[in-house]
A and B are shown apart, each in its own frame.
Chain A
Amino acid sequence: MRVILLSLLAGCLFGAGLTLSGMTDPQRVVDFLDITGDWDPTLMFVMGGALAVFFGSRLILRKNNPAFCNATEPVSKSLIIGAAIFGIGWGLGGICPGPGISNLGALRTEALIFVPTMAIGMVLARVFLGRDT
């Protein structure tokens, strides 16, 4: 029960962070990726803030908690191909999984299309690549 309540709280914090930072606005994300246009660096500040907190916490917590230790895996072909496919989808819609899910909170049409098709894509990855879903 404790893990479930803490996860609910973490999810609430995550959703608040995404919306307040403007990351649930697809135009803002596309403007970040549009480096030859009127570039919007907001996404860098979001990642910078998140990384600063995460990295700082890790330095304190890793002494007693193995979950915070370095867990790098070998760089595989599927990592590169998968990241590239994800990036193409991200640039196309300006939505990654987090904002897609949080935008369900306003029943946005695009999120209602994006999230179910994302689920289908994940099932296809499980069927064809044997990835866990």
Chain B
Amino acid sequence: MEETYWYGLIGGVLIGAASVLALWATSKIPGISGIFAKALNPRDGDFKWRIAFLAGMILSAAILFLISDRADTYRIPEGRGWIAYAIAGLLVGFGTRCGGGCTSGHGVCGVGLGARDSIIATIVFMVAGMVTVYLFKMIGGAA
């Protein structure tokens, strides 16, 4: 098995452990889109732990980017400029709130809890992502 896949598996184990720890500590499904969305509202009583979680995500990533070339690998797919990222941000923000979760909330926690709605959401966003990449490749000539 390729080394990259092992790192994927190890990273996945860390993500799973983080999700279990956060769910255990807060009794809230720790989806990143939900944590971020609700952290936008400072009146929320859970504001502080949400900010702490997000700060941790940025802090550990910042350290690993500095000390690990593997973690620091960062390539922008061909044909994606800043306009593409602005549109992507709008769609991801709107879509995750409309659909009630993202890759972590539905994909890891929801599927891990055996929730039927999360399994369906995960299939839908994966297929939508694949179709988008395919169409982008057809139109722009690059993936």
Q: Which residues of chain B are within 8 angstroms of A102 by Cβ–Cβ distance? A: 57-58, 60-61
B133 to chain A, nearest CB (A): 4
B84 / chain A contacts, CB cutoff of 8 Å: 92-93
Question: How distant is the Cα of A26 from the Cα of B57 in the complex, in angstroms?
Answer: 17
A51 contacts B8, CB within 8 Å? no
Contact between B117 and A87, CB atoms less than 8 A apart: no
Task: A122 to B26: give the CA distance in the assembly, Å.
Answer: 22
Query: In the assembled complex, which residues on chain A have CB atoms less than 8 Å from the CB atom of B100?
Result: 73, 78-79, 82
Given the complex, which residues of B lie within 8 Å of A55, measured CB to CB?
112
Given A7-B50, A26-B77, A110-B85, is A14 in contact with B18 using a C-beta cutoff of 8 Å?
A: yes
Among candidates A68, A69, A83, A95, residue contacting B121 with C-beta atoms closer than 8 Å: A83
Query: In whole angstroms, what is the CA distance A117 to B19 when docked?
Result: 25
Tell me the interface secondary structure of chain A in the complex: helix
Nearest CB to that of B63 among chain A residues?
Answer: A105
In this complex, what residue of B is CB-closest to A51?
Answer: B112
Q: Which residue of A lies closest to B39 (CB)?
A: A133
From residue B67, how far is it (CB to closest CB) to chain A in Å? 10
Q: How far is the CB of A17 from chain B (nearest CB, A)?
A: 3
Given A46-B8, A54-B16, the answer on whether A34 and B134 have CB atoms closer than 8 Å is: yes
Query: How far is it, in angstroms, between the C-alpha of A4 and the C-alpha of B26 when the chains are bound?
Result: 9
Closest to B16 in A: A53
Residues of B near A4 (CB, < 8 A) are 48-49, 52
Q: Are A83 and B57 in contact (CB under 8 A)?
A: no
Q: How far is the CB of B74 from chain A (nearest CB, A)?
A: 5
Contact yes or no, A25 B38, CB < 8 A? no
In the complex formed, the residue of A with least CB distance to B66 is: A106
Interface residues, chain A, CB within 8 Å of chain B?
Answer: 2-28, 30-31, 33-37, 41-55, 57-58, 61, 65-76, 78-98, 100-106, 108-110, 113-126, 129, 131-133
What are 11 A-B contacts defined by CB distance under 8 Å?
A: A14-B14, A14-B104, A28-B75, A54-B112, A83-B95, A86-B98, A88-B129, A90-B129, A91-B133, A93-B85, A125-B98
